[in-house]
Homo-oligomer: A and B are copies of this chain.
Amino acid sequence: MTKPLRIGIAGLGTVGTGVVRLLRTHGDLLVGRCGRRIDIGAVSARNRGADRGVDLTGVRWLDDAVALARDPEIDVVVELIGGAEGVARELIETAITNGKGVVTANKALLAMHGTSLATKAEAKGISFGYEASVAGGIPIVKALREGFAGNQVKRVYGILNGTCNFILTSMRDSRREFKRALADAQKLGYAEADPTFDIEGIDTAHKLAILASVAFGCPVNFAGIHVEGISQVGLSDIDFARELGFHIKLLGLARLTEHGLEQRVHPCMVPLAHPIAHVDGAFNAVVVEADFADRNMAVGRGAGAGPTASAVVADLVDIARQQRLPVFNVPAASLRPVPVSPIERHRGAYYVRFTVVDRPGVMADMTAAFRDEQVSIESLIQRARSPGDVVPVVMTTHETEEAAMRRALERIGKLKTVREPPRMIRIEQF
């Protein structure tokens, strides 16, 4: 039997502890599958005294995480600290410099420095695994790099943040407004005390940047993503959505268009006929549209100790089995920059909810603005009648360019009879 793969784990929070538990539970099974043991050579975490419910007897403890990357008894560094800078980055850079393999769950780091890390890792000939950084319970990086290796990917999109999906599902099913649903999610541990990264779409954007790079063979471009979160989605939008045949989901989407790489993160109206509309609660889903394989959707847990540990260990198994691939599917030196297709060039259908005074002439003013921008209205709903009072009006459009849509909405927003900024949600066509 080949000698054991010796790993050093940095960070023993939920995920790190999950990795230890998995390796302790399935030691024999992994030997059967890899032909060698995966041994925990050393760990590093902040609080040595904490009871994590896993047995770390006999495992060396290093106070300095970066020391794992210099340790001659360690083959692979498992980075579970998180954050785009600081210790996590230093640890990984040092591990690469010292020729050690790297496995990480750090999406922020990859979104910010993925291309340069890939370049360095490949120059050193080391393995660099990051399956856990996107949708932990779904082996999507492997699917894109290997399962669909024979395809040109046309579009990749998904529900990449379980917190947002939990909140949107809870708003719909329990008829709660956003703030109340967020508070519930925090109570249940699905959202953090500071939920900004999740609810404002940043976490989704980190993951999308990684997926787009693997799918399209271009450098990671987080800055090129148009990002909107879910905090402006109203319960009434969710109700209107259902009436119109949609569920609202926060999606990250990337595709190559004639203008370049379009990467967007925002709430979407998803037709009920698309299976992703039915992915609820804390589940994630990723759809790959590829030229030969056609449409493939994978649904699974996006976070949590078990699913993320499963992804980390899958990367370790690849390394133990001596499977090594270019980080982003093609060698980093061949990643070809693609211009960013700005959101203004996006073409699609739109849902807009207006809050207007119920008075003759309002509709004429609004529809005139659309007409002047060549935006064609697909449907119009004014459910409530309350002359002189404020009522919601909902419109959906046929496919149009976002720039035209924005001009029309700006003009409508200035009408005296329009009392709140129009709420626009893109309708996705699949």
A381 contact set on B, CB distance < 8 A:
none
* Set B33, B34, B143, B150: member contacting A313, Cβ < 8 A: B150
Q: How many copies does the complex hold?
A: 2
Stretch binding the partner chain, chosen from A74-82, A293-301, A360-368: A293-301
Contact call A290/B278, Cβ cutoff below 8 A = no
A325 contact set on B, CB distance < 8 A:
321, 323
A278 contact set on B, CB distance < 8 A:
275, 278
Is residue A330 within 8 Å, beta carbon to beta carbon, of the partner chain? yes
Contact call A314/B146, Cβ cutoff below 8 A = yes
Contact call B291/A306, Cβ cutoff below 8 A = yes
Query: Quick one: which of A133-154 are within 8 Å of B by CB?
Result: 136-139, 142-143, 146-152
Contact call B32/A334, Cβ cutoff below 8 A = yes
The size class of the interface chain A forms with chain B is 35 or more
Known contacts A296-B300, A306-B294: A314-B275 contact under CB 8 Å: no
Is residue A219 within 8 Å, beta carbon to beta carbon, of the partner chain? no
Question: How far, in Å, is A258 (CB) from chain B's closest CB?
Answer: 19
Q: In the complex, what distance in Å separates the CA atom of A154 from the CA atom of B217? A: 36
Stretch binding the partner chain, chosen from A22-30, A54-62, A108-116, A384-392: A22-30
A interface residues with partner B (beta carbon < 8 Å):
18, 22, 25-26, 29-30, 32-35, 131, 136-139, 142-143, 146-152, 217, 275, 278-279, 290-301, 304, 306-307, 309-314, 316-318, 321, 323, 325-326, 329-331, 334
27 CB-based A-B contacts, threshold 8 Å = A22-B150, A22-B292, A26-B150, A30-B149, A30-B150, A131-B147, A137-B294, A137-B295, A139-B142, A139-B146, A142-B146, A142-B147, A143-B143, A148-B314, A149-B314, A149-B317, A150-B316, A151-B310, A275-B278, A275-B279, A290-B310, A293-B301, A293-B307, A293-B310, A294-B301, A296-B299, A297-B298
4 residue pairs, one from A and one from B, having the closest CB atoms = A139-B147, A150-B313, A296-B300, A293-B310
